[in-house]
Amino acid sequence: MWTDAPDPYPKGQVTPYTPILWPAGAVVDLVKPVEVKQSYGDVVAARRSNRSFGPLSTSDLSALLWYACRQVARRPSGLGFDLSLRHAPSAGAIHPIHVLVHSNGQSAWQRYDAAEHRLVEVPRGVLAPQSAVAEVSPALALENGTILWLAAEVGKTASKYANVESLIWRDAGALLAHLGLAASSLGLNFCPLGLTGAKWGLALYERKLIRGVGVALVGTPAIADIPRYCVQA
């Protein structure tokens, strides 16, 4: 059954919001990748959802996040936080979605800092990745893939808009699509999942609302994928 969500609209008066202060662990500084010289048509033509994943190097992950998620510029606002210009669109230039990363063998999530282009560990005691691994594995073999979890900080969008749910879901869809195209341009295997990770961040912060709005796997091509579409002469 389809349920229509109420249309969002800008509030008559904004509700200033103080973004979550994420608990921070070890920091991994990422470097600017080499420029990708590939036509947009080639990128689109090559985009596929692939289901086999080899280990993702730090440089590959850096390039993916650089082209899909990084903050290009920012400007002040009256919302309690800066607005952000990034490659993927977001309602009101708010960008409420945090990208968290977990690779095979790691014991904690890493959060992408879009302003500084770096990964910041989320301490294991605050946000453990076991639930994610347990839920992803039955849906798609994790192999050596890296989990990308889109976690929305609802209060950011709600500071400006009423009925924010559909806005955040559209933000998530745009970001997943952009991640897929960026992965295609880099020759990486990428697959969005049906999972949302809706409950993975419930214990993160008692007074802030963090909700999972998407999950994907990414990695290097480990095994040649079986073609999903055949063209017969």
Q: What CATH code is carried by the domain that includes residue 61?
A: 3.40.109.10
**pLDDT for res 223:** 58
Backbone angles phi, psi at 232, to 5 degrees: -100, 140
Domain that holds residue 167: 49-219
pLDDT tens-place string over residues 181-206: 999 999 999 999 999 998 887 777 76
Does residue 61 belong to any structural domain of this protein?
A: yes
Q: Is the pLDDT of residue 233 over 90?
A: no
Is 227 part of a structural domain of the chain?
A: no
Tens digit of each residue's pLDDT (9 = 90 or more) over 99-127 = 999 998 888 899 999 999 999 999 877 78
Q: What band does 84 get if pLDDT is binned at 50, 70 and 90?
A: very high
Instruction: Establish if 181 belongs to a structural domain.
Output: yes
Predicted pLDDT at 193: 94
pLDDT at 218 over 60: yes
Query: The whole model's pTM is what?
Result: 0.90
Q: What is the mean pLDDT of the chain?
A: 89
CA 120 to CA 39: how far, in whole Å?
33
- Neighbouring C-alpha atoms within 13 Å toward the C-beta of 66: 16
Contact assessment for residue 120 and residue 27, using Cβ atoms and an 8 Å cutoff: yes
Total Cβ atoms within 10 A of residue 77: 17
Across the range 166-172, mean pLDDT stands at 97
Q: What residues are paired with 148 via a beta bridge?
A: 101, 216
Q: What angle do CA 227, 143, 42 make, to 5 degrees?
A: 40
Summarize the confidence of residues 213-217 as an average pLDDT: 95
Domain-located, residue 164: yes
Q: Is 31 helix (H, G, I), strand (E, B) or coil?
A: coil
How many Å apart are CA 108 and CA 130, to the nearest integer?
9
Residue 228 has pLDDT above 70, yes or no: no
The tokens 């904690």 sit on which residue?
108
Residue 31 placed within a domain: no
Q: What percent of the chain has pLDDT over 90?
A: 61
HEC secondary structure over 87-137? CCCCHHHCCCEEEEEEECCCCCEEEEECCCCEEEEECCCCCCCHHHHHHHH
Domain count for the chain? 1
Token reading at 100: 């968290």
Residue 226 lies in a domain: no
Whether residue 233 is contained in a domain is answered as: no
Structural domain includes residue 12:
no
Give bridge partners of residue 219 from the DSSP assignment.
189
